[in-house]
Amino acid sequence: MKIIYTDVLIVGGGLAGLRVATGVRERGHDAVILTLVPPKRSHSAAAQGGMQASLANCKMGEGDNEDVHFSDTIKGSDWGADQMVARMFTHCAPKAIRELAHWGVPWSRVNRGDHTSIINAKKVTITEKDEAHGLITARDFGGTKKWRTCYTSDGTGHSMLYAMDNKAHEDNVEIHERLEAISIIHENGRCCGAIARNLMSGELVAYVAKATTIATGGYGRIYSVSTNAIICQGMGQAIALETGVATLGNMEAIQFHPTAIVPVGILTTEGCRGDGGLLLDKDGYRFMPDYEPDKKELASRDVVSRRMTEHMRKGKGVKSRYGDHLWLDITILGREHIEKNLREVKEICENFLGIDPAVDWIPVRPTQHYSMGGIRTKYTGESQTLKGLYSCGEAACWDMHGFNRLGGNSVSETVVSGMLVAEYISDFLESSDSDISIETKNVEKFLKIEQDKIDALLTKEHGEDAYKLRRRMEEIMMEKVGIFRNGDDLKEAVTELEELLKRSKNIEVFRSKSRAANPALVNAYRTQKMIKVALTVAYGALLRTESRGAHSREDFPKRDDANWLKRTIMNWENESDTMPTVSYEEIPIDSMELPPGFRGYGKDLTQHHTDTKVRQEVVDKIKSELESKGANRFEIQNELMPFLDKLPKKYRATNERFGENV
């Protein structure tokens, strides 16, 4: 049996995992990354539209700063986010983006003088300042007050990931490819590493580490149609859950993206609408202004997805053999713009639909896209309940997105949280608190448990077909735990998923009994884990009797702050359990910088908490007193909700912008 020792084990070689690895290497610690695929093929490469950072370089970004970014993020989250974490994030995003530029990301830049943009279906001339020429520019995205989404055409994730991967190599990060973490080693509330399976040889390897970080991305593939890569199966969340100690947060918070192509579900970026693209119905009618007169196509993602679904339910969808859809029209942007700024979208349309988006409308429909929930952590990225286990990126519930994330805030989160978590891990490693003393025989026990499970799968006869169980799970999630949810469907979903979980204890590996490279075996052991993750989503959604952000209950349409201003926490207490255990974590209003309010979409149906009014009065009083004394925005912010002391010292400095004296 093979055991590898390291300071930091990072499960996941996407943007988040790579950024953590680079950070801890720079502090002098060893780091090993485990990844299913070569890092450059991680799902982060699929991110098209951009990364939010309040640089305020371009004309339409003028006036932007951390405060505006913070306010957009909290409203976007429908007040479900941790406001201190959101503050830490918005403060550090400009630093992270400049660092990436330094490491080679070719961000699209401001060009001095006039250029034409399409805004609200009209051509508008925008004049860029001379002094901003050559600085990082930004485009418009949903739910943002300013143009803040920085980009490299529509290949943002690709260029970020390539730069991060190169940096990790430069820093001598050890990368173990095609090594899949299948369980976490832990004893007495302390995480000590992970058991991994070599996907080529089938060998099991134990990695013992002082700190272990899960950066395995989201769990979109528990749905039958998703914009996510097929490796986004929630394995990181599942192995954390299976410890029985680590917890998951807000698993029911699932985002649907408005514009995935029909039928395959590949994404066309929000940048299409950010750059001026329109949504049209079967009559070629632009319907979004009727529903959201202010933000129109650029309302928050959850809102646009719901409005599209509503419109199709009214019979306004385009009939097709793959079900109803709507149109995304980017023809108005012109060929030159599409070939320069939306070139991946063009290729996707050509290769998967056989159309030219400079001439043809694109068939689109809302599709599962992002997992706001994940491994519940403290602001340091460490699990709240399992010492030495960290998580960041889409795998985590850190929790800056609450119940809906803004476009462009995710790749931004990966690099910001990665950069911060690397510092907190390094601090931990440099303290005596990080010592571990697990005996080899105990590590071997964990290896044996996993070996026995695999043996049982391979020797089982007359059992269940994992592919069928998984297919049914995906259908249940799509049909009953989708954009609009209701109690009856959710109850059925939970009952059926629990039944599938019971059946999954009897899985047989059909087709090949090989211990080495064997997709059927991989599917067999992942299916049960995926069903557990699906159960946490469906059960969390059933219990949350309100609508918040992307969680929309038709039977409970109000956002209910009085009863539901809390995070759902899921735990899997015993291996033999067939349901997760649920608890809740309060989101305290009395420390909020931005007390709960109206998001600005549709009618305000919020059932307010009694503490909201009290806190709003306190906030207003602090602001007016300090403003009358001539305090600046930083001093006021610090009085409302201090956060700088939580940041590593090197990231505390104020960000500089044009026209702002700091």
The CB-of-103 to ligand FAD minimum distance in angstroms stands at: 16
Nearer to ligand FAD, 61 or 236 (CB): 236
Work out whether 61 is an interface residue with ligand FAD (CB under 6 A): no
Q: Is 6 in the site for ligand FAD (CB under 6 A)?
A: no
Binding region for ligand FAD (CB under 6 A) out of 39-47, 247-255, 358-366, 541-549 = 39-47
Measured from the CB atom, the residue of 49 and 388 that comes closer to ligand FAD is: 49
Nearer to ligand FAD, 333 or 542 (CB): 333
Q: How far is the CB of 151 from ligand FAD (least distance, A)?
A: 8
Whole-angstrom distance, CA of residue 588 vs CA of residue 606: 17
Q: How far is the CB of 257 from ligand FAD (least distance, A)?
A: 8
Shortest spacing between CB 480 and ligand FAD, in angstroms: 22
Measured in residues, the chain has a length of 662
Q: Taking CB under 6 A as the criterion, which residues in 192-221 touch ligand FAD?
A: 215-217
Collect all residues with Cβ–Cβ distance below 8 Å to 160 and sequence separation of at least 6. Answer: 15, 44, 47, 51, 100, 105, 152, 411, 415
CA distances from 272 to 139, 330, 367, 572 (A): 10, 7, 16, 41
Closest Cα partner for 139 from 289, 340, 356? 340
Element (H, E) at 191: strand 190-198
Shortest reach from residue 446's CB to ligand FAD, in Å: 15
Distance CA 52, CA 137 (A): 11
Choose, by CB under 6 A, the member of 142, 157, 265, 274 that binds ligand FAD.
157
Shortest CB 302 distance to ligand FAD, Å? 15
Cα 490 to the chain's mean position, in Å? 23
- Strand, coil or helix: what is 313? helix
Among 393, 402, 549, 595, binds ligand FAD (CB under 6 A): 393
274 binds ligand FAD (CB under 6 A): no
Q: Residue 506 forms beta bridges with which residues?
A: none
- Work out how close the CB of 167 gets to ligand FAD at its nearest, in angstroms, rounded to a whole number: 14
Q: Which stretch binds ligand FAD (CB under 6 A): 107-115, 314-322, 393-401, 551-559?
A: 393-401
Choosing from 42, 108, 153, 259, the residue that interacts with ligand FAD (CB under 6 A) is: 42
Q: Which two tokens stand for residue 642?
A: 């201090």
What Å distances lie between residue 578 and 91, 267, 302, 497, 584, CA to CA?
42, 34, 31, 9, 20
To ligand FAD, the closest distance from the beta carbon of 267 in angstroms equals 4
Q: Is 180 in the site for ligand FAD (CB under 6 A)?
A: yes
What stretches of 298-391 show up as alpha helix (H) in DSSP? Answer: 301-311, 335-341, 343-348
Task: Output the CA torsion 416→417→418→421 (10° steps).
Answer: 130
Can you tell me the distance from the alpha carbon of 144 to that of 491, in angstroms, rounded to the nearest whole number? 36
Nearer to ligand FAD, 36 or 626 (CB): 36
Contact region for ligand FAD (CB under 6 A) — 100-108, 401-409, 489-497, 651-659?
A: 401-409
Given the complex with ligand FAD, which of 209 and 395 has the nearer CB atom?
A: 395
Among 20, 53, 168, 181, binds ligand FAD (CB under 6 A): 181
Q: Does 655 bind ligand FAD (CB under 6 A)?
A: no
Site for ligand FAD in 414-433 (CB under 6 A): 414
Stretch that binds ligand FAD, among 392-400, 546-554, 585-593, 594-602 (CB under 6 A): 392-400
Smallest separation, CB 412 to ligand FAD (Å):
6
Question: How many residues sit close enough to ligand FAD to count as binding (CB under 6 A)?
Answer: 48
Q: Give first-to-last CA distance, the chain, whole Å.
A: 58
Nearer to ligand FAD, 156 or 434 (CB): 156
| 367 is a contact residue toward ligand FAD (CB under 6 A) | no
- Which two tokens mark 32? 């090993």
Does 46 interact with ligand FAD (rule: CB under 6 A)? Answer: yes
d(CA 59, CA 139): 10
Nearer to ligand FAD, 268 or 606 (CB): 268
* Rounded distance between C-alpha atoms, residue 659 and residue 643, angstroms: 25
- Residues of this chain, 227-256, that bind ligand FAD according to CB under 6 A: 227-228, 231-232, 235-236
For ligand FAD, which is the closer residue by CB, 108 or 156? 156
Q: Where are the beta strands (DSSP E) in 23-166?
A: 31-35, 51-52, 113-119, 122-128, 149-150
Q: Other C-beta atoms within 10 Å of 422: how many?
A: 28
Binding to ligand FAD by CB under 6 A, coded x per residue (else -) over 12-31, reads xxxxxx--------------
The answer to whether residue 142 forms part of the interface with ligand FAD (CB under 6 A) is: no
Smallest distance, ligand FAD to C-beta of residue 517, A = 16
Between CA 317 and CA 326 the distance in angstroms is 5
Task: Note whether 164 binds ligand FAD by CB under 6 A.
Answer: no
Secondary structure, 3-state, 255-277: EEEEEEECCCCCECCCHHHHCCC
Token pair for 424: 């907190």
Question: Interface with ligand FAD by CB under 6 A: which range of 43-51, 339-347, 579-587, 616-624?
Answer: 43-51
375: tokens are 């491994």
Catalytic positions are 257, 273
Contact predicate 364/270, CB 8 Å? no
Among 549, 572, 536, 579, smallest CA distance to 219 is for 536
**Residue closest to ligand FAD, measured at CB:** 14
Residues that bind ligand FAD (CB under 6 A): 11-17, 34-37, 39, 42-44, 46-51, 156-157, 180-181, 215-217, 227-228, 231-232, 235-236, 267, 269, 369-370, 393-395, 407-412, 414
